[in-house]
Amino acid sequence: MAFYGDLFRLPGQPLAVGEPRYTAADVSDGFETELLFAWWKAAAEVDSTVVPPGADTLARTPRSVQAALRALSRSRFFSGLALRALVGALKQTSRYLLDIEVRAAARKRVLSEIGDDTQVVVAHSLGSVVAYEALCSAPGHSVRALVTLGSPLGVRMIFDRLSPAPTPLGAWPGGDDLAWTNVADHGDVVALVKDLRPWFGPKVEGVAVHNGASAHDATAYLTDTRVGSAIAGGLGVR
């Protein structure tokens, strides 16, 4: 398992367990705010308890970071997730895509775990972006199957920033014999785009699962039989 979580801590931040104590004020304008509002819109579409952006209510919801975080905290998808963790997810995504040094270091960590005997790579959430780019940067690798879980690779603001740059489709992350299975829960707000074929070509196999209230949870994905089948296929196990 590749670990690179420490790369996202800014200089001077304590190496304590959990996310730094982020607040709404830490959400930056631009990419982070745009992604936050995309999550809000997606959550409102799959959860009737979430007031959509700009909806008319007794007190009209302002289009602000505070309002977005408040709405998401009440959703089934983000229920129980501390505000600092939600903001932390935004900041990790933006740092990976916008900080060249963090991006290179994370990809290097992933590549260091991929040897000649590696047949399957399983990646979840932002990790699917890191794994995808790592495989693209290693032509001739031995990986036979890529399994992405709850992936944001099809989100436009992420897709457009991928390396190598899409032309217009995203690069295929391996040889012609690589099997890529993308698994997404209908209610997974992070995986805003469930079908990756329009973005990476018809060879991507899409699998829909139902993780219940834990739509984005890695454990829920990993314990689904269809994920197991995709992994077994890459290992040549029947």
The ranges assigned to domains in the chain are 5-97, 115-235
C-alpha 71: how far from chain center: 20
Residue 172, pLDDT > 50, answer yes
| CATH superfamily to which 115-235 belongs | Alpha/Beta hydrolase fold, catalytic domain (3.40.50.1820)
Q: Which residues of 170-203 are buried (b: 16+ CB within 10 A; e: fewer)?
A: bbbbbeeebbbbbbbbebbbbbbbbebeebbeee
- Answer yes or no: pTM beyond 0.85: yes
pLDDT in tens, 48-89: 888 888 764 544 445 688 888 888 877 777 766 667 778 888
Per-residue pLDDT at 206:
97
Residue 15, pLDDT > 60, answer no
